[in-house]
Structure 1
Amino acid sequence: MLRKIEAKLLLVDDLPGNLLALEALIQGEDRTIFCASDAGQALGLLLEHDFAIAILDVQMPGMNGFELAELMRGTEKTKHIPIVFVSAAGRDLNYAFKGYESGAVDFLHKPLVPHEVRSKVAVFVELYRQRKALLRQLDALEQSRREQEALLAELRATQGELQNAVRMRDDFMSIVSHELRTPLNGLALEVQLRKLRLEQNRSDAFTLDRLRAITLRDEHQINSLTRLIDDMLDVSRIRTGKLSIRPQPCDLSQLASRVTENLAGLIGNAGCSLELQLEGPVNAEVDAFRIEQVLVNLLTNGLRYGAGKPIKVRVYGREADACIEVSDQGMGISVADQQRIFQQFERIAGNGVPQGLGLGLYISEQIVEAHGGHIELHSRLGEGACFRVVLPYGVAEVG
């Protein structure tokens, strides 16, 4: 592995013959040798390459080897390069002290001894390769640490999502069991009551007027169950991308009139009055069944949270889109709640008790967005709420 790490060696001497002789002594397949004839040329090479060792001749015209070494030690890029001086001054201690003070790690004395030169260079090259290998290992460890931290963060996020999914599942099952039980309990009580009357041969309990009332109650409970089931099916379709939208030409004003007429009984039972404001025909390419579903959801919420006060439905066209507004004068919605009520299973406590599955607004928003539109909400606590459905006049058929 260490042999694969390239080792670059720098030789600096003003005499070409000395450079050639030294290069011949230390060259090898695992090394690249660069030669410089003066300090200026050497500095250029030092700034461009990372060297395992620099072998400097002390006696050079201009800047000598000691001065070049001091300059190298003062430069961030080159201060860690081992410096070996080549000197003809013998082994004079003062001379050696000056060399080490300049930054040398060793000396080669002229005349050069081939075995000594090769051995010393080999030691520094090996040290360089070991240092590079260690740095690579440290880099790999650091990269591995960062990857592990990222993986851990991802696992924590996944754990949070799973915990949230489990919480949503538990909440959903609790809500569904409660919401389904209410109409089922009503139907069960009606059946038990009729069974008791039949066992008692009470024919007076089944007059036409009473049968009409019983049928209306049954129809109401069945409609409630059907709507709950349809909502759950729609959520499944949305999650799997199978929500069907089939646009056809439709007058949104007529659609709103039909929906409010169908809900007249529900509106009356809630003790509300409804104002329908239609600004002429408003034609758009929509899935009428799905937009009816949206309008029913918004009106139902208005009745639920409108505190028995008037509700207004307005249909109008703008230059680029068509709008359906449903506004009430009820409890209003806080800014914090406005951010969450379009999510699944999110509900606001009306009269202290949350009602419904918390799916109506989520499904409505998905339907409107599937048409290329959006829902706007304007509300303040205590001042009612206005939901505006904004639809383009035409959408491409999907689903």
Structure 2
Amino acid sequence: MPDQTDEANLLIVDDLPENLLALEALLQAPNIRVHRAESAEQALELLLCHEFALAILDVQMPGMDGFQLAELMRGSERTKQIPIVFVSAAGRELNYAFKGYETGAVDFMQKPLDIHAVRSKVSVFVDLYRNSKRMARQVEALERSRREQEVLLDELRSTKAELEEAVRMRDDFMSVVSHELKTPLNTLILEVQLRKLQLSRNNFAAFEHDRLHAMVNRDERQIQSLIRLIDDMLDVSRIRTGKLSIRTSRVDLGQLVGGVVDDFAAQMEAAGCALEYLCAETIVGVWDAFRVEQVLVNLLTNAMRYGAGKPVQIRVSSRPDAACIEVRDHGIGISQKSLERIFHQFERAEGSESSAGLGLGLFIAEQIVKAHGGCIQVESREGEGALFRVTLPL
């Protein structure tokens, strides 16, 4: 039995109701629906509402005859492909068949109709219609499959590109990590070897108070460098697993920033960067003091690293329901290309490859600020320094 989706509509047009009834009875079959029209005008209304496998038109009708209806059908995009069969009771001498073929008919039948011939011809056109619909569905399915395959291919290409980028980032990261970890470790190893040499020579003068104090300070700086690198890597791991902890309490932001500025004063002076701090009011909010300090340390470290020995300004101010920290340097600046990815992990500004760091500081800083419900922005042009602005909801 034909599928329900293959139901075929047939249009029969005749001005005599008894002819329509007889023809309808003749054409009745499973999954075939016959639509009757007693005039060309009724037929046009049906043609607007349904899709037909075949139209059987009586030639001689009052008003618009079958030939005129056929010409209208052939002139419309919607109906021009419908096969047309003409029927007529007129004698063959009127040559209606020739005129019917001229108007685009596929067949012409004389009344009285041969029952077997009519059923056979209608069956052929219905089968053609159903086959064309099946083929159209198959083409549509193939096209849908092609589109789905294109989407999958695009996703595969995107995944491949992401994997290649991930591999590149991993390789770059491992290269930077090995270099950054080796720097303090090599310094510590050299210090240890030098001390072993002095001890082997019984040169205890090398361990006098001032020299020993300097040694301990150098060791502490290198150990702190190692700790910072490890902490950065641990923070990235926490961020990826959603376990970055934020422990809030009431914080005086001016005092917090002032403390960090005091801690950085000696380093900034050694780098030739004058540190200017402005906070004209008391701003108290609920934040994680340790994490906010971590953000500020990263920003000041970058300002010192890329500030080219020029002044660095820190400004703390309030906004409605928020606090703002601005760190401005007047150093090498950041290119437009680097600005687009500067908050990505393992990214460092162009031209900064020789500088220390894993390229994690700004990534971690942004994640900390976001965890507070705030935002971090940067404004910069090459050669004109950079301004980092952190906004934290109170």
TM-score using structure 2 length:
0.96
CA RMSD, Structure 1 to Structure 2 (Å) = 1.5
Shift of 1:127: 0.7
| Separation in structure 1 between the aligned mates of residue 276 and residue 307 of structure 2, nearest angstrom | 14
* Alpha-carbon distance between aligned partners in 2 of 1:325 and 1:186, rounded to the nearest angstrom: 35
Amino acid at match of 2:378: L
Q: 1:371 to 1:351 in 2, by over 3 A?
A: closer
1:38 aligns to what?
A: 39
Aligned residues: 393
Question: Cα offset for 1:143?
Answer: 0.8
CA offsets per residue over residues 303-332 of structure 1, 9 Å max, x none? 101112222222222233111121222112
Contact 1:304–1:350 (CA<8 Å) still a contact in 2? Answer: no
Q: CA deviation at 1:90?
A: 4.1
Q: Judging changes above 3 Å, is the alpha-carbon distance between structure 1 residues 225 and 133 closer, same or farther for their aligned structure 2 residues? A: same
Residue 111 of structure 1, CA deviation: 1.0
Secondary structure of the corresponding residue to residue 313 of structure 2: strand
Does the alignment pair 1:292 with 2:293? yes
Deviation track 1:273-319 (CA, whole Å, cap 9, x = no partner) reads: 21222213211111000000001101111110111222222222223
Report the counterpart of residue 225 of structure 1 in structure 2: 226
The structure-2 alpha-carbon separation of the partners of 1:333 and 1:327, relative to structure 1 and needing over 3 Å to count, comes to same
Q: Deviations over 1:161-217 (max 9, x none)?
A: 111011000010011111111011111111111111111111111111111101110
* Superposed displacement of residue 15, structure 1: 0.5
Say which is worse superposed, 127-136 or 318-327, in terms of deviation.
318-327
1:166 maps onto 2:167 in alignment: yes
Distance 1:105 1:333 in 2: 76
Q: Distance in 2 between matches of 1:339 and 1:271?
A: 29
Partner of 1:60: 61
Partner residue of 2:249? 248
Residues 28-64 of structure 1 show CA distances to partners (whole Å, capped at 9, x for unaligned) of 1220010000000000001110001011111111111
CA positional deviation for 1:376? 2.2
- SS of the aligned residue for 2:323 comes to strand
Tell me, in whole angstroms, the C-alpha distance in 1 between the residues paired with 2:356 and 2:167: 21
Q: Does 1:128 align with 2:121?
A: no
| Segment of structure 1 superposing worse, 383-392 or 311-320 | 311-320
CA distance in 2, matches of 1:363, 1:188: 30
The separation in 1 between residues aligned to 2:136 and 2:55, in whole angstroms, is 21
AA aligned opposite 1:325: E
Aligned-partner residue type, residue 26 of structure 1: L
Aligned residue number for residue 22 of structure 2 = 21
Q: CA deviation at 1:79?
A: 0.5
Hey, what does 1:206 align to over in structure 2? 207
SS at match of 1:353: coil
Q: CA deviation at 1:2?
A: 4.6
Query: 1:396 — aligned with what?
Result: none
CA distance in 1, matches of 2:94, 2:129: 28
Change (3 A) 1:211 1:81: same
1:115 and 2:129 aligned: no
Post-superposition CA distance 1:88-141 (Å, at most 9, x none): 124448321101011211122111111111111111111111111111111111
What SS is found at the alignment partner of 2:95?
helix
The 1:351–1:361 alpha-carbon spacing in structure 2 relative to 1, beyond 3 Å, is: closer
**Alpha-carbon offset, residue 26 of structure 1:** 1.1
Unaligned runs of 5+ in 1: 394-399
Letter in 2 for 1:72: M
Secondary structure (helix, strand or coil) at the match of 1:149 reads: helix
Q: Which amino acid aligns with 1:290?
A: R
Structure 2: runs of 5 or more not aligned: none
Residue identity in the other structure for 2:245 = S
8 Å CA contact 2:276–2:311 kept in 1: the answer is yes
Q: Counterpart of 1:284 in 2: which secondary structure?
A: strand
Superposition deviation, residue 364 in structure 1? 0.5
Q: Are the aligned partners of 1:349 and 1:355 in contact in 2 as well (CA < 8 Å)?
A: no
3-state SS of paired residue (1:366)? helix
2:376 corresponds to 1:375: yes
Q: What is the deviation of 1:342?
A: 1.2
- Please state whether the residue corresponding to 1:285 is helix, strand or coil: strand
Secondary structure of 1:182's counterpart equals helix
State the secondary structure of the residue aligned to 1:237.
Answer: helix
Closer/same/farther in 2, CA of residues 237 and 210 from structure 1, 3 Å limit: same
1:276 aligns with 2:277: yes
Whether 1:191 and 2:199 are equivalent positions in the alignment is no
Match of 2:335 in 1: 334
Give the Cα–Cα distance (whole angstroms) in 2 for the partners of residues 83 and 261 of structure 1: 95
Contact 2:335 2:350 survives alignment (8 Å): no
Identity %: 65
Whether the aligned pair in 2 keeps the contact of 1:2 and 1:130 (CA below 8 Å) is no
Opposite residue 123 of structure 1, the aligned amino acid is V
**Counterpart AA for 1:118:** R
Amino acid at match of 1:120: K
Match of 1:397?
Answer: none
Distance in structure 2 (CA, Å) of the matches to 1:246 and 1:91: 101
Equivalent in the alignment of 1:353? 354
